[in-house]
Amino acid sequence: MITEKKSTITYRKWDNGAMREFSEEVTVVRMDNGAITYACGITQEGYLLHCYFGAAIGDDDISYLMRLSDHPFTPNGNNRDRLIFMDSRLFEFPCHGTGDYREPCLMVLDEDGMSTCDLRVTGYRTVKGKPALKQKGVSVIPATYAAKDEAETLVITLEDAHLDLTAELTYTMFTGLPVVTRSARVINHGYNEFRIQRLLSGCVEWDHSAFDMITLNGTWARERAVSRVALHSGKQSVDSKRGISSHQHNPFAALVSHDASEESGEAYGFNLVYSGNFLAEAEVATSGFTRFVMGINPFDFSWLLRPEEDLTAPELVMVYSDKGIGAMSRTFHDLYRGHLIRGQWKDKMRPVLINNWEATYFNFDEEKLYAIAKTASEKGIEMLVLDDGWFGKRNYDDCSLGDWVVNEEKLKGGLKPLVDRINALGMKFGLWFEPEMVSPDSDLYRAHPEWAIQIIGRDMTQAREQYVLDYSNPEVREYVYGQIRAILDSANVEYIKWDMNRALSEVGSTSLPRKRQRELWHRYVLGVYEVMDRLTTDYPYLLLENCSSGGARFDPGMLYFSPQIWTSDDTDAIERIKIQYGTSLCYPASAMGAHVSDCPNHILGRTTPFATRGDVALVGTFGYELDVTRIPEEDREAIPGQIAKFKKFNPLVRTGDWYRLGNPFEDDSFDAWMFVAKDRSEAVFTFVQILNRPSTPSRRILLRGLDPKKVYRNEDTGEIRLGETWMKGGVIVGAQGDFASRTMHFTVC
C-alpha cells in the first residue's frame, strides 16, 4: 500500500538569541506491505529526504523522522542554513554541488563545464505491479518482475530546473516480501547536451553507524568468501572495474547490526541486478550517520546525454530482516526464485548432466564422448555437455574463439551425428560457447580485427590468449548471434553453457564516437544482455547456464537470463562448502551449478570421499564433471544411488528454505546446513566433517525452521521427536573421518 500524509512540523529553536517557534509543511510518502515500511519525506522546498526503512510500523505520523528540527539546522525565518542542512540530512537521491559533501548518486557535467545538480520533487505516481525498466534504444534491462497483484510501484519525479533534467526514482515493494527494489532514470529535457558522470541506483541512510558490513570477496576458484567488518568513519566499499561483476567482489553488501547472527539481529542486504562495473559503498559521516550507495561504478564512467535521451540505472534490490542474516538470505532466495529467474526451467528440476571439461579437456573425439555418454546414461545421467574445444581448430586454449563452426577433425559430419547418437541413448545434449571472445588466431579476428575491444595504436593485452569482442557494436552482436543460431539449428542442442573468461582491458571501441568512448563499459553489458535475451526468446526451451571462469559473473543480471550459473571452477567438495556458503548469502541453491568431479581434485590435489562430493553437489543443480569410464568402479557404481538422492531431495533444495547451521569461515572443523519444505512437512540435513579433531565429543547441532509443534522422524536413525526438541535440543552427530558427510531426512509423522 502506498500512502501519502501531509503534516505540519512545529519546533522551537534558538534564533537571534531567543527561542522561536517554526513550522513547515511536509509530505511523507510511504510504502507498506505488512512486513516492512519504506518512507520518504518531501520538504516544503521539494527536497526528497529518507524517512524510514525497516520493520513495519503503524499508520502514524512519522514525519518527525526527517529530523528537520535537529541541530545544526539553523532556521532563519524558516529559510534553512542550506549548507548545513544539505550535509547533515538523510537523502533519498543525493546530488553534488549544493552542500552535500558525502557520496552523491548523481553527478552531471553540463556544457559550461559545471557539475552542480539540485533535484527537487515535482510529483509522484503509483503503479500496480512493476513496470519493466526502460531506456530508449535498449531492448532489455534485467530486473525483478511482478504481476499486478504481487507488487506496487512508486515513481517519484524530481527536476533540476536549471539543467532541464528530470530524474525518475522507482521503488517497488513486493506483497509479503520484506524487499524494496529501486532504480533511477535521468532524462534530458533541455536543448543542451550534458554528461552523466555518475548515476547510482539508490541510496539508503541511517542516523547511526552501529553496523558491520558483510561483503563477498575472492578470486578464481575461491569466489565469494564472506568478510564481515565493523563500519568505521569514512568510506568503505567493494567494486569492480573489470567489466564483469568479478571473482574479486560480488555486487552484494549487507549492513547488519553488530549482534546480528543467522537467527537474530537486523540485516539490510543489497544486491545490484548488474553484470559489469559496480560500486557498493558505505560512508560514515562525522555526524555518525551512515550513507550506503550502490550502482554502476562511477570510475571511468561518463555518459553523453543529448536532448531527449535518457539513462537508466540498474536495479538495486534491498532486503530487510529483523530475524538475522539467515532470514535475509531466504528473502533473497524467494525473491529471485519467484521474481527474477524466468523461463521454462525456472521451477523445474534440472537434468543431471555430465560435462566433459575435467574429463577430457580439449582431448576428445566423437567416440570418446560417446563412450562417456553411454556409460553415463547407463548410470542414470541425463545430459552430456560438450565443453570447450569443439569448434574451429581448437585443441588448446590459444585459438579459434569467434569461429563457431564444428571442428570436423574431432566431430566428423558436424554436431548432428553425435547429438543424434546421444539422443538415442535417451540423453539430452548441451554445448559450451564463449560468445563474447575472439582469439587473435581465428578467422573472425583476421577478418575483423576492429571488432575486438581496443585502443588503436596501443598494445592489446591478452588474457588466456584472447581478446574481448566489442558488444557495444550491433554488427558484432548480430554476427555472433548468427553463428550461435546456425549451430543451434544444426542439431538438437538443449542446453548452453555461456562462458566469459577474461576481464576487459584497453577499453575502447572502434565503432563508438570519441565522445561516447567511456560508455563502452556499460554499453558492453547492455549488448551482452541483448544477445542473451534474443537467445532465450528465440529458443525458449534452452537451459542456459552462465559461467565466467567459474563464478566471476554470479550476479542477478545473469540470473535474469539463465536459471543457473556455474558457481566456481573449484569442484573440490571441501572448498565448495565455503563457496556455496558465501554464494547462499543472496543466491538460491536452484541457481548454483554444482558437480561431482574426480579425485585427486584437479585444482587442489585433494582427495575426498565420492559420497561427500555428491552430498555437497546436492546443494545446486547437480551433475558430474569426470570421465565416468575411468573413475574407480565403486564410484561409478555409486552414481545411481547419488542420482536417486538428488531426485529425492532436489525439490526441497530447489524450493525450500535454506538454513546455514555451521559457518566454515569461523569454524573450519565442520559445516552443516538444512533445507526445509515451505510447508515444513520435511527437511534434509547435511553435515560435513572438514578436519576432524582428536578428543572431541559428538556434536549437537540445533535444527531450524521446523514446526515446533509437529513431530518429526529422523528417517536415517528412526528417532522421533517434536520439532521444538529438534530445534532446541538438536541432533547429535558423531565424529566422522576427515571430509566425511552425512545427510538425514526429517519427515512429519
* CB 682 within 8 Å of CB 707: no
Angle at 443 between CA 438 and CA 448, to 5 degrees: 70
Cα separation values, 149 from 1, 37, 56, 59, Å: 11, 18, 20, 22
State in angstroms the smallest separation of the CB of 549 from ligand GLA: 5
Could you give the string, one character per residue 604-643, with x where binding to ligand GLA holds by CB under 6 A and - elsewhere? ----------------------------------------
| Centroid of chain to Cα 202 | 16
Residues 422-481 that bind ligand GLA (CB under 6 A): 432
Q: Among 661, 655, 648, which Cα is nearest to 615's?
A: 648
* CB 118 within 8 Å of CB 48: no
Nearer to ligand GLA, 290 or 439 (CB): 439
Of 205, 388, 598, 657, the one binding ligand GLA by CB under 6 A: 388
Nearer to ligand GLA, 283 or 569 (CB): 569
Q: Tell whether residue 554 is a contact of ligand GLA (CB under 6 A).
A: no
State in angstroms the smallest separation of the CB of 56 from ligand GLA: 43
Q: Tell whether residue 501 is a contact of ligand GLA (CB under 6 A).
A: yes
Establish whether 569 is a catalytic residue: yes
Report the alpha-carbon distance of residue 593 to residue 428 in Å, rounded.
17
Of 94, 202, 550, 614, the one binding ligand GLA by CB under 6 A: 550
* CB 643 within 8 Å of CB 668: no
Given the residues 441, 470, 555, 569, select the one marked as catalytic: 569
Nearer to ligand GLA, 68 or 573 (CB): 573
Grid look-up 554444482 returns 594
The helix/strand/coil state of 126 is strand
CB atoms within 10 A of CB 675: 24
Report the alpha-carbon distance of residue 253 to residue 249 in Å, rounded.
10
State in angstroms the smallest separation of the CB of 565 from ligand GLA: 11
* CB 229 within 8 Å of CB 213: yes
CB atoms within 10 A of CB 743: 18
* CB 267 within 8 Å of CB 548: no
- One-character DSSP codes across 599-611: SS-TTT-----HH
* CB 355 within 8 Å of CB 623: yes
Of 494, 499, 575, 615, the one binding ligand GLA by CB under 6 A: 499
# chain residues binding ligand GLA, by CB under 6 A:
12
Residues 352-371 that bind ligand GLA (CB under 6 A): 357
State in angstroms the smallest separation of the CB of 406 from ligand GLA: 17
* CB 649 within 8 Å of CB 658: no
The total number of residues written for the chain in this structure:
749
DSSP 8-state assignment for residue 442: S
Which one of 7-15, 190-198, 439-447, 546-554 is the stretch in contact with ligand GLA (CB under 6 A)?
546-554
* CB 155 within 8 Å of CB 105: no
Could you give the string, one character per residue 266-305, with x where binding to ligand GLA holds by CB under 6 A and - elsewhere? ----------------------------------------
State in angstroms the smallest separation of the CB of 589 from ligand GLA: 19
- One-character DSSP codes across 734-747: ----TT-EEEEEEE
State in angstroms the smallest separation of the CB of 568 from ligand GLA: 8
Q: Tell whether residue 53 is a contact of ligand GLA (CB under 6 A).
A: no
Which one of 141-149, 256-264, 442-450, 542-550 is the stretch in contact with ligand GLA (CB under 6 A)?
542-550
Q: Please, what is the end-to-end C-alpha distance for the chain in angstroms?
A: 40
Q: Which residues pair with 625 in a beta bridge?
A: 597
Of 32, 103, 283, 387, the one binding ligand GLA by CB under 6 A: 387
Nearer to ligand GLA, 144 or 580 (CB): 580
* CB 30 within 8 Å of CB 52: yes
Of 121, 547, 559, 591, the one binding ligand GLA by CB under 6 A: 547
Which one of 127-135, 224-232, 440-448, 547-555 is the stretch in contact with ligand GLA (CB under 6 A)?
547-555
Nearer to ligand GLA, 551 or 556 (CB): 551
* CB 144 within 8 Å of CB 335: yes
Q: Among 424, 423, 382, which Cα is nearest to 644's?
A: 382
Given the residues 334, 499, 615, 671, select the one marked as catalytic: 499
Nearer to ligand GLA, 2 or 604 (CB): 604
Of 262, 266, 494, 569, the one binding ligand GLA by CB under 6 A: 569
Grid look-up 525518475 returns 168
Which one of 120-128, 545-553, 668-676, 719-727 is the stretch in contact with ligand GLA (CB under 6 A)?
545-553
- Which residues in this chain contact ligand GLA in the complex, by CB under 6 A? 357, 387-388, 397, 432, 499, 501, 547, 549-550, 566, 569
Known catalytic residues are 499, 569
